[in-house]
Structure 1
Amino acid sequence: MAGEALTPTTYIQHHLKNLTAQVGGEGPFWTINVDTFVTAVLMGLLIVFAFWLATRKATAGVPGKWQAFVEIMLEFVDKQARDTYHGTSKLVTPIAITIFFWILMMNLLKMIPADFIAKPLELMGVHYWKPVPTADVNATLGMSISVFFLMIVFALRSKGLGGFTHEFLTAPFGKWMMPFNLILNIVEWVSKPISLAMRLFGNMFGGEIVFLLIWVLGGAGILGMLGGATFGLGWMLFHLLVIPLQAFIFMMLSIVYLSLSEDSH
């Protein structure tokens, strides 16, 4: 869209379009959202690097400010995971830490105005770049499907294949209602990752649209700039709560689902 005059509608559509790549040549097997993939990986590497900095010079005595902050955050997540999960797996806390901090880092990109990322990339010939991975349903579904497979692994580890199959077919109405039990359990298991993904995606995508609308308002003269600045500041302050809250909800629901998958009905 370089060189074209952007209307408010086309401006918003432009910033909501992903940079894609076709995999598979002719008749591509799938389409990859390159911006989502690259940004998600970078945010993951960034949080790993940040934690490495905290541990590189960790001391048992008086910790530095960054080490103290990281320790407080890790202890908070660890406590939440231990209080929620009732099983014996030692993987739950690492899973909770990974989910929370990775989603938090991806959500925080919403605090950067879209043009601050898009304009430099346009100068390098990249005309589409959707900066917030969690505003892409492919990313949130990918994470929730990973949680879904972890639920199956945890259930099999706890109950065994026979116990899991028996419970899936007989709970909650007993063996004589097997078809209804099967349908109910399939709906229950499938709805968990879908709702998990859609909750995070809906909040992040909706928030991104509002940010873009406010940014458009800023281009409508002096009054528009003042209104855009006022609304933008208010929406940004509101999102300082929404961003960590959505990461926390995704993490807590994931741990709840893992705990429930091990419970017997």
Structure 2
Amino acid sequence: MTAKDEVLTSSAYIQHHLTNAKLCTVDGEFAFNHACSDAGFWTWHIDSLLFSVGLGVLFLFIFYKVGQKATTGVPGKLQCFVEMLVEFVDGSVKETFHGRSQIIAPLALTIFVWIFMMNLMDLIPIDFMPEAAKQFLGIPYMKVVPTTDLNITFGLSLSVFILIVFYSIKIKGLSGFVKELTLQPFNHWAFIPVNFLLETISLVAKPISLSLRLFGNLYAGELIFILIALMPWWSQAALSVPWAIFHILVIVLQAFIFMMLTIVYLSMAHEDH
């Protein structure tokens, strides 16, 4: 569905492009989108899942093939690019992470590349994928940027949160983790309730801030592309190209911020006070 092919109000056009393709079960049968309004919690955003999982598989496939064909001689362009990414992430981890772990660098690399690839989908012309889904698959809605779906960004940050708690308990022990929540910043038994409240809020705020920061920036960028698509055709190129060039910086920066904050949070989890 495009703004040119069907008569849509501006608000309806925006709402259309910001609606996920939903799958749910109603009375034991599969239903899509509008029928899912009464489905409750178990509603799947199939477009977000499809593109996020697909891009993750593509990332693993590319890096696996590069690893299989890696040579000590003159490397190809793709191998050079992958080596630059690995060295960049490895250097960031060495400068920021102060513990010892074999999982942090691969995790940071996965987060950076995967989020970057999901963000990169924002540069696809706004009407291209939804119209193709409508014409060839009969799906009325299609959001192609997984990171504009709060479920995806919160799922990523929740995974990081689980790792934070896991390593906090692993490195400090359960008693050490409890002491960290109850005896900081005021090391006195009388302040245990205050400490616990402050530390719990600080701990829970980490995944919330991670998810909302990534979601908010990409959602805003997607919304601007939609608003540009509503303008006359002769003005779209003049506005969309500069915004796309600027948005390249945004999608890289947001992937980098998510990666760096993950490293910092896990580094704090490895510190035994």
TM category (shorter chain) comes to: over 0.9
> Is the CA contact (8 Å cut-off) linking 1:16 and 1:130 kept in structure 2?
yes
Q: Structure 1: how far apart are the matches of 2:169 and 2:17?
A: 43
Q: In the alignment, is residue 55 of structure 1 matched against residue 67 of structure 2?
A: yes
Q: Structure 1: how far apart are the matches of 2:180 and 2:206?
A: 18
* 1:67-216 equivalent positions in 2, closer than 5 A: 67-123=79-135, 124-174=137-187, 175-216=189-230
> Is the CA contact (8 Å cut-off) linking 1:154 and 1:261 kept in structure 2?
yes
> Is the CA contact (8 Å cut-off) linking 2:169 and 2:177 kept in structure 1?
yes
> Is the CA contact (8 Å cut-off) linking 2:10 and 2:230 kept in structure 1?
yes
Q: Structure 1: how far apart are the matches of 2:21 and 2:41?
A: 17
Q: Give the 3 Å change call, closer, same or farther, for CA 71–209 of structure 1 in structure 2.
A: same
Residue in 2 that maps onto 1:221: none
Which range moved further: 194-203 or 28-37?
Answer: 28-37
Q: Structure 1: how far apart are the matches of 2:20 and 2:123?
A: 19
1:130-184 CA-to-partner distances (Å, cap 9, x unmatched) read 1100001111000001100000011111101111112211111122200000100
Residue in 2 that maps onto 1:65: 77
Once the 2 structures are TM-superposed, how far is the Cα of residue 89 of structure 1 from its aligned partner? 1.2
Q: In the alignment, is residue 262 of structure 1 matched against residue 256 of structure 2?
A: no
Given candidates 202, 214, 233, the residue that maps to 2:241 is 233
Once the 2 structures are TM-superposed, how far is the Cα of residue 32 of structure 1 from its aligned partner? 1.3
Once the 2 structures are TM-superposed, how far is the Cα of residue 28 of structure 1 from its aligned partner? 5.2
Given candidates 241, 253, 261, the residue that maps to 2:261 is 253
Given candidates 23, 39, 43, the residue that maps to 1:21 is 23
Q: Structure 2: how far apart are the matches of 1:48 and 1:118?
A: 26
- What is the letter of the counterpart of residue 13 of structure 1? Q
Q: Which runs of 5+ in 2 are unaligned?
A: 29-38
Q: Which runs of 5+ in 1 are unaligned?
A: 218-223
Which range moved further: 20-29 or 35-44?
Answer: 20-29
Which range moved further: 165-174 or 185-194?
Answer: 165-174
Secondary structure of residue in 2 paired with 1:114: coil
Once the 2 structures are TM-superposed, how far is the Cα of residue 88 of structure 1 from its aligned partner? 0.7
Instruction: Calculate the TM-score normalised by the size of structure 1.
Output: 0.93
Q: Give the 3 Å change call, closer, same or farther, for CA 248–4 of structure 1 in structure 2.
A: same
Secondary structure of residue in 1 paired with 2:230: helix
1:184-227 CA-to-partner distances (Å, cap 9, x unmatched) read 0110001111011100000000000000000111xxxxxx3232
- What is the letter of the counterpart of residue 214 of structure 2? L
Residue in 1 that maps onto 2:31: none
> Is the CA contact (8 Å cut-off) linking 1:23 and 1:32 kept in structure 2?
no
Once the 2 structures are TM-superposed, how far is the Cα of residue 29 of structure 1 from its aligned partner? 4.7
1:36-93 CA-to-partner distances (Å, cap 9, x unmatched) read 1111000101111111231221111211111111111111011101211101111100
Q: Give the 3 Å change call, closer, same or farther, for CA 4–69 of structure 1 in structure 2.
A: closer
- What is the letter of the counterpart of residue 270 of structure 2? E
Shift >4 Å, 4+ stretches: 1-4, 23-29
Secondary structure of residue in 2 paired with 1:211: helix
Q: Structure 2: how far apart are the matches of 1:86 and 1:233?
A: 42
Which range moved further: 224-233 or 136-145?
Answer: 224-233
Q: Structure 2: how far apart are the matches of 1:158 and 1:203?
A: 34
- What is the letter of the counterpart of residue 192 of structure 2? M
1:223-258 CA-to-partner distances (Å, cap 9, x unmatched) read x32321111011000011111110000000011011
- What is the letter of the counterpart of residue 178 of structure 1? I
Which range moved further: 24-33 or 160-169?
Answer: 24-33
Residue in 2 that maps onto 1:11: 13
